Amino acid sequence: MLLSKKTFSAMLKHTEDLWLKNVDQLSDIDSRFGDGDHGITIGKIARAINECVENWGDESIRETIISLSEKILGISGGSAGPLYGTLIGGLALPLSDENEIDGELLKKMLQESYNEMTNITKARVGDKTMMDALIPAVEAAVASSGDIPDILSAAAKAAAQGAATTENFASKFGRARSYGEKTIGTPDTGAISTSLLFQGLYEGLVNQQKNQV
């Protein structure tokens, strides 16, 4: 299958909705060992998504992703803006002027997103950050031999599992690092929001397919 602009818009919109539904939960988790504002920032990012989707005209998928990335990079409130701006901006790197995305191109987009993130953070799996969800998600997506729904399903499942495992780790980055082993038992809020990102993209695709039947 191919992801059209319409379908990609629906995927982003569902991600926006899912993030907004979990704003309070994300801030609550973040307040235990952080600044407690992760949910607020994610809400701002979600509204940036809505603005881009609602105003999407003749721009290519690449142009819209770049515009969204720039909006997110400009959002104030901790590290989430720069991190998600970079993550989403990386998706545009393999694109030119395509109005449709196939499975192989989607894998390249996700791989470049991961590559861009490794340029701005040294965090890896086990460090209790959003990378605990992003890295396994991208690895699962790239390893998938199926079509786009299978790629995104694999990514969503791996991201959810990665986010869940952060309960077992001690924080090694950010303000939570000062709490050390006290953070064991609490999941990382960035990993959870990253998991919700992949969940939103996958569910948005599934819902769009159902609506087309």
Each residue's pLDDT tens digit, 13-27: 999 999 999 999 999
| Domain interval for residue 180 | 3-212
The tally of domains found in the chain comes to 1
- CA 198 from chain centre, in angstroms, equals 6
CA distance linking residue 202 with residue 7, whole number of Å: 11
Query: How much of the chain, in percent, has pLDDT values that exceed 70?
Result: 100
Each residue's pLDDT tens digit, 110-152: 999 999 999 999 999 999 999 999 999 999 999 999 999 999 9
Q: What is the CATH number of the domain that holds 111?
A: 1.25.40.340
Cα→Cα distances 181→30, 32, 69, 126, 186, Å: 16, 13, 34, 13, 10
Q: What pTM value is reported for the model? A: 0.95
